[in-house]
A = this chain, B = another copy of it.
């Protein structure tokens, strides 16, 4: 097979003047080293974390698409107040795309690399929004013969995040958990994991059809924050499960505080005597996403034994160490077609991913609106 000398790679740049600029650049196709393989990328999802690197703090209302259909150039303005936080990436053209899958089209001399030639593999390595990606053979997850690349595109971020939440719950001494934006691909995985492991899970959604979707895959506790009786229903579900830890994908607004308030109320249903400082049971909410970009507003009415904080997959995997992380990866590989199956609303080319309507579609971050890029299209 003859490989081209160059390929298209998506790049995101913040200019020193505070302008975001996303382009498809022609860059050399890398030569795999002895222990490396060259992957022709055929499926790479647009996850919320990718959108963060793609658009940074740019104002999405100012997005403009110029260039040609095949080589679009996206620009957007970064608000003055957000520029300080973006300063350290100014002037650096950054490749994007956390994870993906594709066919190994060239391999280094080592037996491990040669063994993957012609096979479909999944990787998490960054820079996946390009036509080719060289990766160490040891970091490739070999997919079963006949698995399409699209089925292996999201092997890492969502599955390991869902498993990481359950693992965090266990390690921090809780016995059940809460998840928000629970109808997402990740949320559906969590429903299946908790059902298999016998763990209580309270699913919070924002719309009736999302509740129906989750009940359809067996979720037992689903509460809809758009319903008038939300806080009471949430408290009932918290009392029924005993959940004292939550993972919130929305981040902003009052939801995290409402969850803590519900936990405290559920705990106090069994309180024997008044404590001026609230219950002694530690209640925790981790914010792992930014679906709601408003400030987080906490009305402190749940005692003193509580915490809110950020939660991120990679530091978590580092903290638990390579052995424990490997155990999680093995579970993903074993249950790829069942627990960890992903669903995409659209599959687009690299150029289509930079068209205005596609950008508007995936930056809205709606449930069921996940987009897959096929850079080989």
Question: Which of A136-144, A172-180, A271-279 is the interface stretch?
Answer: A271-279
| Chain B contacts for A303, CB-based, 8 A | 310
Q: Considering the complex, give the chain B residue whose CB is closest to the CB of A265.
A: B84
Could you say which of B82, B273, B300, B310 contacts A296, with CB atoms under 8 Å apart?
A: B300
A interface residues, how many (CB within 8 angstroms):
45
Instruction: Tell me, rounded to whole Å, the shortest Cβ–Cβ distance linking A95 to chain B.
Output: 12
| Chain B contacts for A280, CB-based, 8 A | 315
Instruction: Tell me, rounded to whole Å, the shortest Cβ–Cβ distance linking A364 to chain B.
Output: 20
Asked if A148 CB lies within 8 Å of chain B CBs, one says: no
Asked if A301 CB lies within 8 Å of chain B CBs, one says: yes
Instruction: Tell me, rounded to whole Å, the shortest Cβ–Cβ distance linking A274 to chain B.
Output: 3
**Copies held by the complex:** 2
Question: Which of A85-93, A211-219, A353-361 is the interface stretch?
Answer: A85-93
What's the Cα separation between A315 and B49 when bound, in Å?
Answer: 37
Asked if A291 CB lies within 8 Å of chain B CBs, one says: no
Instruction: Tell me, rounded to whole Å, the shortest Cβ–Cβ distance linking A101 to chain B.
Output: 22
Complex A-B, nearest 5 residue pairs according to Cβ-Cβ distance, in ascending order: A307-B309, A89-B274, A304-B310, A296-B298, A304-B312
16 contacts between A and B (CB under 8 A): A52-B276, A53-B276, A84-B265, A85-B301, A88-B275, A89-B276, A251-B300, A277-B312, A295-B297, A295-B298, A296-B297, A303-B310, A304-B312, A306-B309, A306-B310, A307-B308
Residues of A within 8 A of B (CB): 49, 52-53, 56, 82, 84-85, 88-89, 92, 94, 251-252, 257, 265, 268, 271, 273-277, 280, 287-288, 290, 295-301, 303-312, 314-315
